[in-house]
Copies of this chain bind each other. A is one copy, B any other.
Amino acid sequence: MAEKQTEEKKSALPSKSNFSEWYNELLLTGEIMDVRYPVKGLYVWFPFGFDVRKRTYAIIRELLDKDHQEALFPLLIPETEFMKEAEHIKGFENEVYWVTHGGKNELDVKLAMRPTSETAIYPMYKVWVRSHADLPIRIYQIVNTFRYETKHTRPLIRLREITSFKEAHTVHATWDEAAEQVKEATRIYQEFYRRLAIPTIVSKRPDWDKFPGADYTMAVDTLMPDGKTLQIGTAHHLGSNFAKTFDIKYENLNGEQVYAHQTCYGISERSIAALISIHGDDKGLVFPPEVAPVQVAVIPIIFGNSEDIIKACSDVAEVLKKDGIRVALDTSDERPGAKYYRWEMKGVPVRVEIGPRDLKNNVATIVRRDTGGKETAPLANILEEVRKRFEAVHKSLFEKASNSLNERIINCDTLEEVKERITNGIARIPWCLERECGLAMEEAVGAGILGVPEGDLGSGTGKCPVCGKGTQNMAIMAKTY
């Protein structure tokens, strides 16, 4: 069904330089999301988009399942539990949807639709955690969560129903072990995004921008085509804050009851927003092979007698399928150009064409979606040749995106400079780490401090632009989604 719709449509995409229009049109024409659902901020996953989601989340599951367990907790949280952690409430009270009626009855206790699941999970952790031998606990779930967004909503990015929230919640004996887990979480997320060919920056969020109820928050950001950053993962050290609220204690080796230490970390369908936005182009979607619903389109180039060519294409398709590759053999009646259009729009990483001359030479023409580069390859080696292209496509998507990110990190010395250049990307500027200076910087620039990034990006020498003190910390600032 959905495919037919697109064929009829055949609308050209707006240029990617008009990012916002391009994005909205691509979601529909590329059949990722339908934005025509009759409630603001709620969207429908098309089957094709859902396929991308499934493959993307299979990666995060694979990475987590090494030492996490998947579980499932209820969506509805009684007001009494939800209201227990003071900071947490303040952070969410304006965003929570409340269920007040069941049938025609008013409920005795209002139910919050989880905006995140700390207050649903930790009452259970209280029951589950008894002794140091029970720790660590590392559990995650992939669920829908809800936020009553009053800002402008945007599919996959700012939603009222986050349909695909992967949230992990861990419990540890000590603060240090929890801190290690936060590091591990950002490491896993970076690995996840490398698999999606998405470059990331990890930084510690300023104290005023941390998760409500956390000791500190580490965040994973990427840079979108329009120069704004998108937060695509966070990991929070919760200290014993929630453990004290929810009475999560364990018996230590000395037989004493002590509070546990916790972390939580999450990823949402923003991962898909980044995937689509960063790799896509004026012709449509571009996927790294691992998450592409169709990995190879095989297209016969037919003039006159065509049986041999169709046979050759069908053989190629079989060879590839046998090796687990997802293949579409397109023997429809359309002109090759129309077929190219369709499979390019759908982000198919590799196209294999066989025409009369190819067949005579026992070769196929292999076309890469990302570069448009054409090469011929012997039919006898078609599987290896295709697999080689998969690697090359992934590598080159990641390099291109990484270069594009690095080029748009601009070193600045003054706030005027930041203000002027921040529309193109990320500004990097010395910061003394003082709260007052940070807030003044944000105020002056009209944009947020993402934090001090891990690694070289976050260190250097310079003077805080507000107080003038020398510092070896470099902050990054950006317009954010």
Interface bits A215-248 vs B (CB < 8 Å: 1, else 0) = 0000000000000000000000000000000000
Which residues in B have their C-beta under 8 angstroms from that of A96? 102-103
Q: Does B137 contact A113, Cβ atoms closer than 8 Å?
A: no
Which residues in B have their C-beta under 8 angstroms from that of A101? 97-98, 100
Interchain residue pairs with CB less than 8 A apart (14):
A1-B129, A37-B120, A38-B123, A39-B111, A42-B76, A43-B74, A44-B73, A45-B71, A50-B71, A72-B163, A76-B161, A93-B104, A100-B101, A103-B150
A224 to B70 CA separation, bound complex (whole angstroms):
29
A210 to B120 CA separation, bound complex (whole angstroms):
36
A380 contacts partner chain B, Cβ-Cβ < 8 Å: no
A46 contacts partner chain B, Cβ-Cβ < 8 Å: yes
How many chain A residues touch B (CB < 8 A): the figure is 68
Which residues in B have their C-beta under 8 angstroms from that of A329? none
A330 contacts partner chain B, Cβ-Cβ < 8 Å: no
8 nearest CB pairs, A to B: A102-B148, A47-B69, A42-B74, A45-B72, A94-B103, A98-B101, A1-B137, A100-B100
Q: Does B44 contact A134, Cβ atoms closer than 8 Å?
A: no
Contact A39:B78 (CB < 8 A) given known A98-B99, A99-B98, A124-B44 = yes
Instruction: Name the residue on B nearest A5 (C-beta).
Output: B128
Select A103's contact among B43, B54, B95, B163, beta carbons within 8 Å: B95
A66 contacts partner chain B, Cβ-Cβ < 8 Å: no
Q: How many copies does the complex hold?
A: 2
Interface bits A1-15 vs B (CB < 8 Å: 1, else 0) = 110110010000000
A253 contacts partner chain B, Cβ-Cβ < 8 Å: no
Q: Which of A330-389 contact B (CB under 8 A)?
A: none
A143 to B142 CA separation, bound complex (whole angstroms):
11
Instruction: Name the residue on B nearest A73 (C-beta).
Output: B44
State how many angstroms separate the Cβ of A454 from the closest Cβ of chain B.
30
Which residues in B have their C-beta under 8 angstroms from that of A113? 99
A36 contacts partner chain B, Cβ-Cβ < 8 Å: yes
Q: Does B93 contact A5, Cβ atoms closer than 8 Å?
A: no
A1 to B139 CA separation, bound complex (whole angstroms):
10
Which residues in B have their C-beta under 8 angstroms from that of A75? 144, 161
Q: Does A37 contact B104, Cβ atoms closer than 8 Å?
A: no
List residues of chain A with CB under 8 Å of any chain B CB.
1-2, 4-5, 8, 34, 36-39, 42-47, 50-51, 53-54, 69-78, 80-81, 93-105, 111, 113, 120, 123-124, 127-131, 133-135, 137, 139, 143-144, 146, 148, 150, 160-161, 163
Instruction: Name the residue on B nearest A102 (C-beta).
Output: B148
Select A124's contact among B34, B123, B135, beta carbons within 8 Å: B34
Select A5's contact among B8, B50, B134, B139, beta carbons within 8 Å: B134
Which residues in B have their C-beta under 8 angstroms from that of A95? 102-103
Select A70's contact among B50, B70, B81, B127, beta carbons within 8 Å: B50
A95 to B105 CA separation, bound complex (whole angstroms):
10
State how many angstroms separate the Cβ of A44 from the closest Cβ of chain B.
5
Q: Does A72 contact B44, Cβ atoms closer than 8 Å?
A: yes
State how many angstroms separate the Cβ of A6 from the closest Cβ of chain B.
11
Which residues in B have their C-beta under 8 angstroms from that of A148? 102-103, 105
Instruction: Name the residue on B nearest A124 (C-beta).
Output: B44
A97 to B107 CA separation, bound complex (whole angstroms):
9
